[in-house]
Amino acid sequence: MNVMCCSRSLDVHMPDYPLVVTMEFNHNHPLDTASVLRHRDVAPYVAAKFAELLSTGHSPLAALAIHKYDLYLEHGAHQYLNFVNDRHHFPDIGWCYRYVCQYTPLPAICS
């Protein structure tokens, strides 16, 4: 048995047209608008901050308000809106309550 090729493909165009993949990373949608940024995962430093605030007795809504005020103080009025619209830095209230129910079983909130 005389084997000339290692490929078992029966495609006759394969030797003439090899595949070349070019990645250009062009998107057909915006990447930095509020509608896109609200779907990002919450950053680990935000989760740690909420764990600290909740352990000191704050409610999820109060912890979110404190975090919002801290973002305003840290980044100023101009950059504040960019951070508040990004879920990576500023989670929604639903995430706050799910975080409480996941890590601290409070029957009044989680039921």
Q: Are 100 and 106 in contact (CB under 8 A)?
A: yes
pLDDT digit string, tens, across residues 11-23 = 666 666 667 678 8
pLDDT in tens, the chain (111 residues): 455 556 666 766 666 666 767 888 887 777 777 777 777 889 999 999 999 998 898 989 999 999 999 999 999 988 888 888 888 999 999 999 888 888 765 555 665
Q: If phi over 0 gives left and psi between -120 and 50 gives alpha, with beta otherwise, what is residue 25?
A: left
- Return the pLDDT at 7: 61
Q: Are 80 and 72 in contact (CB under 8 A)?
A: yes
Domain ranges of the chain: 1-111
Residue with tokens 């250009």: 24
pTM to 2 decimals? Answer: 0.67
Tokens of 9: 């493909």
CA pair distance 93, 89, nearest whole angstrom:
13
pLDDT digit string, tens, across residues 31-43 = 777 777 777 889 9
Percent of the chain with pLDDT over 70: 75
Report DSSP state, residue 43. P
CA pair distance 42, 102, nearest whole angstrom:
15
